[in-house]
Amino acid sequence: MPYILQHNRPAIENKIARLTKWLGIDNNFDGFMDYVLATRKELGIPNTIKELDVGNNQFTRMAEMAVVDPTASGNPVSLEVEDCVKMYQQAYAGEIG
């Protein structure tokens, strides 16, 4: 989730700022990202897709599937194969934008 949030940041930052005020989270988008990461840790969700045994040799195939998924059209920032590959690489390495 943090990887797609970062990708969508330009389109959702103002909405996230309103959400953080409602939730009582400081620092707007960055504070929300910290909250998401802390929740992920608390729930025991791995930090990387590598920890889920997703091989980096599958990224292009996964990206091609992701951009034609019916839910992709609802993403606030358009998704291209290259964008998805980059996010998978980041998720594999645990590097958020």
pLDDT value for 96:
87
Distance CA(94)–CA(12), nearest Å, equals 22
Which pTM value belongs to this model?
0.86
pLDDT value for 1:
87
Distance CA(81)–CA(66), nearest Å, equals 8
> Structural domain of residue 74, as residue ranges?
2-93
Total structural domains within the chain: 1
Q: Which segments of the chain have a pLDDT < 50?
A: none
Can you give the CATH number for the domain in which 66 is found? 1.20.1090.10
Instruction: Give the closest residue to 77 by CA, choosing from 4, 2, 11.
Output: 11
